[in-house]
Amino acid sequence: MALLQLERISAQYPGNPEPVLAEISLSLGPRQLLVALGPSGSGKTSLLNLIAGFVEPSAGRITLDGVPVKGPSAERGVVFQDDALL
């Protein structure tokens, strides 16, 4: 069973007709690692924001251990590149 499951997720920001991400699917099991590489503007941060629950996908579904991701949760941690206070 997948620990993290992304099922055909898409992300589109208001006022922008082009999707940032389209039809992304992936499954990660326990002890698996995901590395997001790409040029600036390719959607890496958007993908992480979706997984963290900071942003809802415009289409598709994200689950963590079978539970839908519907916003930030104490069960998920985010370490920012720069210092940040929440």
In whole angstroms, what is the distance from residue 75 CA to residue 15 CA?
A: 32
Q: In which element (H, E) is residue 44 found? A: helix 44-52
pLDDT exceeds cutoff 70 at 84: no
* Cβ burial, residue 46 (10 Å; 0-12/13-18/19+): buried
pLDDT exceeds cutoff 80 at 86: no
pLDDT exceeds cutoff 80 at 83: no
Whole-number percent of the chain with pLDDT over 90: 74
In whole angstroms, what is the distance from residue 64 CA to residue 76 CA?
A: 9
pLDDT of residue 85: 66
pLDDT digits (tens, 9 = 90+) for 31-46: 999 899 999 989 999 9
pLDDT of residue 77: 81
Q: What is the token pair recorded at 51?
A: 């997984």
Domain boundaries, the chain: 4-68
